[in-house]
Structure 1
Amino acid sequence: MSSDRPRVCLILEGSYPYITGGVSSWVHQLISALPQVDFALYTISPKAEQPLHYDLPKNVVEHRDMVLSAKLKTDSKPPDREFMFEQIRKLHDAFEAGSTPDFGLLMELMPSGYFPYRDAVTSDAGWDLISRGNQLNNPVYPFSDYFWAWKSSHDMLFTIIGADAPAADLYHAVSTGYAGLAAVVAKLRTGRPYLLTEHGLYHKEREMEIRRVRFIRGYQRDMWIRIYNDLSRLSYKYADLVIALFEYNRRVQIEMGAREERTQVIANGIDVDFFSSVKRQRREGFHVGLVGRVVPIKDVKTFIAMSRVVKDRHPEAQFYCIGPTDEDPAYFEDCRTMVRSFRLTDCFHFTGRVDVREYYSFLDVLLLTSVREAQPLVVLEAYCAGIPVVATRVGNIPELLDYDDRFLAASKDPEKLAQAVSYVHDNPAEMAGIVDANREKAHTFYNRNSVYQRYLELYRSMAKEEAWQA
């Protein structure tokens, strides 16, 4: 491997190249834009043999997929099993006390190729750890509930810790969580640097998902939330550089253990010329579109509820949910049922996967109803295409919309969103000036060529360095 042509291992959890979306699109464009870099993909997946949704660029020289729930065959042993589990107990104690422990000693005691799925529950130290944890944290519910929750969560951690990532000059994780843990392990085993880019805040997103699941209760729920928080803190401690998309998230990363001098903000970027080339061809009526996957985090149901309110005020309105519908079939079916219940079947359209520029050519307003976002690319795309934006007040959206409350609403507030959409409808002259200003802002601050150049510089400089010792 040569620093003139660095080899970067991208570590990806539940996204590229199997799932479409903002993060996957960002990864694909980054790889494609840097042909002078060799990329190895280390993907962490929920199941095996998923179909690829992207054609891998030629500079992807290796792809290794790790199925998180897989039980891998052990081909090595720790030098002292009981001492190793004693150190795992101390790691638990440190995390529970609110500190982020030294992970390096565990890496010395737990060799690659060792997966203690069985040893964790048959060794004296391992069983004591589980029993003591149940007595302290789970006295109300049956021990079997605690045991299986502990084992399922820790088996996935053991899979990541025991596996080897592809060889690389630099490990670049695109989230904390299991991807971040894999990067920490790779750094400690190889001595190569670890770069972390967070598009959102992984631990917050997982917490929202867990709290929506009714069958995860009591301490099981708290345990999963704490694991994801601890994984983030571990990533922030060991990353040589932590990158956020905007300043608020950088401050959160620092509060959770990232060293301030090892953090940066690099905003998202888009192909401003590509989206600015959209030729606007207005259609009769009033056209409102949401660009995104039909999944709960995008809160398409609030879009549907808002559509009913807007339709009552502006009978000529048409609504478009522009994006894939196959990621969460049950949620998609709920949305279709809701459209029928709200008597919107003649004006509400699910497009599936399409070229969004076709719709950018005639949309009168772009809507985002997400309950969580980082720095959504579709806002920048709409700006370049000349479309006003109305959105929920999440992530970096308020800053992108200049904190203008006329176009912002709280999550799950269809009435306020409808009010904002009506403002766009009723004030075309004013919106023309806002559209021009937004297009200029996107060209000035969010050109992806500048973003890719910064990453190329980071890759080249970090590939020449030894890993920073936490």
Structure 2
Amino acid sequence: MRIGLLTEGGYPYVSGDARLWCDRLVRGLRQHEFEIYALSRTERQEAEGWIPLPPQVARVRTAPLWTAGDDGSIQGRRARRRFTETYAELAAVISTARQPGAPQDAPETDGPEADRFGSALYALAELARDTGGLIGALRSEAAVRALEQACRAPRALQAVRTVRVSELLRTAAHLERALRPLSLDWYEDDGLGSVDLCHATAGGTAALPGLLARHFTGIPLLVTEYGVQLRAHYLGTSHETPPAVRALLASFHRLLAAEVYHRAACVTPGNTHARRWQERCGADRDKLRTVYPGMEASRFTEVGEATDRVDPRTLVWVGRVEPAKDLICLLHAFAEIRKEEPRTRLRIVGAPAGAEGTAYLGQCRTLAAQLFPDEADGVHEIGDNPVSFEEIGGPEAPDLPDAYAAGAVVVLSSVVEGFPISLVEAMFCGRATVSTDVGAVVEVIGGTGLVVPPRNPRALAEACLALLRDPERRERLGAAARARALELFTVEQNVAAFHDLYLEIVSHSPVRRVLVDRTGEPLPFGAPAEAHLPGRWTEPRLPRGRPRWAWEPGEATPTVRATGFQEAVPAAKGA
């Protein structure tokens, strides 16, 4: 099977999101052939290069999102008029779509609003294909005028009716960046048109090439979201962003997310927290299959089996240093702990995340110096602060298991969290954990650790003290946590789940091409003979409540007018 792996700002680059799990997935599925279609986010990411790729990666095609050169397309009067009309329709639906203030406000993804957005999006894609690209057009004065006209319309959102020219320019620039995949030449028979399945490793812009491949050639699309892109957009929007820009971009990303979920053959959230977000944003429940991230457990095996290395008076925090981790709360909680247990120590292990993380780390160091002054107190010597800040190289650092090994209890104090990787690593190491109730924390630990409300230093301190004073309870919880992690969060379960999903989706997709060997000769039994026989019995028949992976009634079938299963497979795991 040939898989088109779609990434944004991650694999196969040295630095980026989803790099580790994508590499583990590709290496674990040696029986399949992968083609990688990667969108890079920064010039630095491009300059750092790629990680070593396994032999099953047949090709890598990249495109930058951080720069947009002239695509060289020359549009005549008819093409310009066609673009203006199509972009105006897209702007109209964005400016009139009601803006959800929270994920509880579910969008109407099956109504006229969604249909208009999808029709305008694919019309722009067809225009880009006909003219050679739309980068210049999307940045043109005509695009800005179309946005302005849509915002001044009577049905426009209240927040956008007073939009300024500078805000229109900012919105148009963001939309051009998000729609840049429309101008790529990835959708012909020598690109995504030759794969059996598109697997987008994120929603939003990363999944857009998969939407276009499905539109042009009928390639089925699988979308994996370990962090919901729409949620990331909401959280990443600055409070200083003008209301009009915020409303327009929120509408666009919500509609794009709904279109991705609607057209995908299957959507795989990484946890129930992400799954709820996807359902609120319009994803069909029958298409959702939970597949937990796969993590390498072998490097933590020695720590999990050794109990003599534990310091019973040490708390450990591991992660990226940033405000969302709320280390300020942890330091205040530790001050309460020290009043009860003066010999306790706290190790904060991790690197700052960008300039904001560096500034936050400075605040934490200053607070630690104020709460625990370097003076002899009968327990520690002068200059021996009970709080230590240590930096490691990253998630693959060889000394990461040693960080977990040094403590009796691992603490997570976040106020915002997706899938808590540090908790899973602590569970592999057999460590008892104390965590705040955010994101997928409760789902991950499943009763093998203590959970407290976020932003509550006193509750965090009491939970840590309860485990520090009860070594037998720590050991029981640590052993249960390790067993749970080895059952649910290993690379092996992740690879097996996606292997089953690949086979299931492709088995319900029509045969579109003849498989050939290296010499160009047809490959015997590459496609089953019964797929070419006419008759209703060859159509996919799924149990009630399961999606029709191939197409919907009234939808144009792909190139070869044939249905049927390529291979019978069992139901996918991880649902």
Q: Given the superposition, is the C-alpha separation of residues 377 and 57 from structure 1 closer, same or farther in structure 2, using an over 3 Å criterion?
A: farther
**392-401 vs 110-119, which moves further:** 110-119
Q: Given the superposition, is the C-alpha separation of residues 9 and 400 from structure 1 closer, same or farther in structure 2, using an over 3 Å criterion?
A: closer
Q: Is 2:129 the counterpart of 1:129?
A: no
Q: Is 2:393 the counterpart of 1:369?
A: no
User: What pairs up with 1:46-445 in 2 under 5 angstroms?
Assistant: 46-50=41-45, 51-52=48-49, 54-76=51-73, 80-95=79-94, 96-97=96-97, 98=108, 99-101=113-115, 102-103=118-119, 104-111=122-129, 113-118=132-137, 121-123=140-142, 127-133=145-151, 136=156, 137=158, 143-165=164-186, 166-167=191-192, 168-210=195-237, 213-278=238-303, 279-284=306-311, 286-325=313-352, 327-343=353-369, 346=385, 347-353=387-393, 354-355=397-398, 356-402=400-446, 407-445=450-488
Q: Given the superposition, is the C-alpha separation of residues 306 and 24 from structure 1 closer, same or farther in structure 2, using an over 3 Å criterion?
A: farther
Separation in structure 1 between the aligned mates of residue 3 and residue 209 of structure 2, nearest angstrom:
17
The AA in structure 1 aligned to 2:90 is L
Separation in structure 2 between the aligned mates of residue 418 and residue 67 of structure 1, nearest angstrom:
47
Separation in structure 2 between the aligned mates of residue 191 and residue 153 of structure 1, nearest angstrom:
28
Q: Shift of residue 114 of structure 1?
A: 0.9
Separation in structure 2 between the aligned mates of residue 179 and residue 413 of structure 1, nearest angstrom:
37
The AA in structure 1 aligned to 2:79 is D
Structure 1, unpaired ranges of 5+? none
Separation in structure 1 between the aligned mates of residue 550 and residue 69 of structure 2, nearest angstrom:
31
**387-396 vs 182-191, which moves further:** 182-191
Q: Shift of residue 148 of structure 1?
A: 1.6
Q: Is the 8 A contact 1:77 1:114 kept in 2?
A: no
**Among 9, 15, 18, the residue aligned to 1:19:** 15
Q: Shift of residue 76 of structure 1?
A: 4.1
State the partner residue of 2:561.
Answer: none
- Secondary structure of 2:207 counterpart: helix
Separation in structure 1 between the aligned mates of residue 407 and residue 462 of structure 2, nearest angstrom:
18
Q: Given the superposition, is the C-alpha separation of residues 161 and 431 from structure 1 closer, same or farther in structure 2, using an over 3 Å criterion?
A: same
Q: Given the superposition, is the C-alpha separation of residues 201 and 157 from structure 1 closer, same or farther in structure 2, using an over 3 Å criterion?
A: closer
Q: Number of residues paired by the alignment?
A: 460
Q: Among the aligned pairs, what percent are the same residue?
A: 20
The AA in structure 1 aligned to 2:32 is V
Separation in structure 1 between the aligned mates of residue 348 and residue 133 of structure 2, nearest angstrom:
47
Separation in structure 2 between the aligned mates of residue 45 and residue 372 of structure 1, nearest angstrom:
26
Q: Is the 8 A contact 2:11 2:22 kept in 1?
A: no
Give CA deviations for 1:361-403 in whole Å, capped at 9, x if unaligned: 2321112223333333332222221101111212221123336
Separation in structure 2 between the aligned mates of residue 53 and residue 391 of structure 1, nearest angstrom:
35
Separation in structure 2 between the aligned mates of residue 420 and residue 54 of structure 1, nearest angstrom:
41
Q: Shift of residue 49 of structure 1?
A: 4.0
The AA in structure 1 aligned to 2:129 is P
Separation in structure 1 between the aligned mates of residue 242 and residue 7 of structure 2, nearest angstrom:
31
Separation in structure 2 between the aligned mates of residue 174 and residue 251 of structure 1, nearest angstrom:
18
**Among 22, 25, 30, the residue aligned to 1:30:** 25
Structure 2, unpaired ranges of 5+? 98-107, 373-383, 511-548, 553-575
Q: Is the 8 A contact 2:467 2:474 kept in 1?
A: yes
Separation in structure 1 between the aligned mates of residue 351 and residue 358 of structure 2, nearest angstrom:
10
The AA in structure 2 aligned to 1:341 is L
The AA in structure 1 aligned to 2:127 is L
The AA in structure 2 aligned to 1:440 is A
Separation in structure 1 between the aligned mates of residue 206 and residue 178 of structure 2, nearest angstrom:
11
- Secondary structure of 1:110 counterpart: helix
Separation in structure 2 between the aligned mates of residue 281 and residue 340 of structure 1, nearest angstrom:
34
Give CA deviations for 1:264-316 in whole Å, capped at 9, x if unaligned: 11223334454233233435452222222223443444444434443444332
Q: Given the superposition, is the C-alpha separation of residues 172 and 119 from structure 1 closer, same or farther in structure 2, using an over 3 Å criterion?
A: closer
Separation in structure 1 between the aligned mates of residue 494 and residue 247 of structure 2, nearest angstrom:
38
Separation in structure 2 between the aligned mates of residue 115 and residue 419 of structure 1, nearest angstrom:
59
Q: Is the 8 A contact 1:11 1:43 kept in 2?
A: yes
Q: Shift of residue 45 of structure 1?
A: 2.9
- Secondary structure of 1:11 counterpart: strand
**254-263 vs 71-80, which moves further:** 71-80
Q: Is the 8 A contact 1:11 1:182 kept in 2?
A: no
Separation in structure 2 between the aligned mates of residue 58 and residue 373 of structure 1, nearest angstrom:
35
RMSD: 3.0
Q: Which structure exhibits the higher relative contact order, with contacts defined as CA atoms closer than 8 Å and separated by 6 or more residues?
A: 1
Normalised to the residue count of structure 1, the TM-score between the two structures is 0.86
